Structure formats: C-alpha cells, structure tokens
C-alpha cells in the first residue's frame, strides 16, 4: 500500500515537473518568435525610413532643377525691357 502511494506521489511530481518544463519551453519558444517578429519589424521600418530619405533627396534635387530652369528661362524676359531703353539708332 505504501509503495503504491509513493509511486502515485512520484508520478504526480513527475507530471508536475513535466508540465512546468513544457510551459518553460513554450514560453521560450514564444519569446523567440516575438524577438524574430520584432527584428523583422525593425528591418522593415529601417527600410521604409531609408526609402523616405531617398525620396526626399530626389524631391529636393527635382525642386532645385525646377528653380534653375525657371531662372534660366525667365532671365531673358527680365532683360528685354532694358534693351530698348538703351537702343540708339
């Protein structure tokens, strides 16, 4: 009888230890999955920031080009009024 009780107690302890161990393994696995997901999210965010910076640089270069083109095309028209005033036939 005592041997049966001891065996049941040992089995209960073994079952409890198994449950605790599997819970710890599951928690470790979930933490690893969360870390991988966080790393992917960080990589995506970094790529988006890099893309946004490149787009900003392209936009700035385009704006500068437009301003240069405006100045170049408008410079002749700005000086037309002065030419006829100084014209001596």
Could you tell me if residue 10 is inside a domain?
no
The CA–CA distances, whole Å, from 88 to 6, 36, 79, 82 equal: 125, 81, 17, 12
**Assigned token pair, 75:** 């410079």
Give the per-residue pLDDT at 38. 97
Domain count, the chain: 1
Is residue 57 over pLDDT 80? yes
Q: Is residue 6 part of a domain?
A: no
Question: Which structural domain, as residue segments, surrounds residue 45?
Answer: 32-72
In a domain, 58, yes or no: yes
Kindly write down the DSSP assignment for every residue of the chain, as one continuous string. Answer: -HHHHHHHHHHHHHHHHHHHHHHHHHHHHHHHHHHHHHHHHHHHHHHHHHHHHHHHHHHHHHHHHHHHHHHHHHHHHHHHHHHHHS---
| 36 found inside a domain | yes
Within a domain: residue 49?
Answer: yes
What pLDDT score was predicted for residue 17? 97
77 pLDDT more than 70: no
Residue 57 is assigned to a structural domain of this protein:
yes
């Amino acid at each position: 009888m005592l041997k049966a009780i001891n065996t049941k107690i040992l089995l209960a302890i073994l079952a409890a230890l198994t449950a605790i161990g599997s819970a710890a393994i599951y928690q470790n696995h979930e933490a690893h999955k969360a870390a991988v997901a966080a790393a992917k999210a960080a990589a995506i965010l970094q790529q988006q920031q890099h893309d946004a910076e490149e787009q900003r640089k392209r936009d700035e270069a385009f704006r500068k080009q437009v301003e240069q083109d405006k100045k170049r095309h408008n410079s002749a028209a700005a000086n037309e009024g002065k030419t006829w005033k100084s014209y001596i036939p």
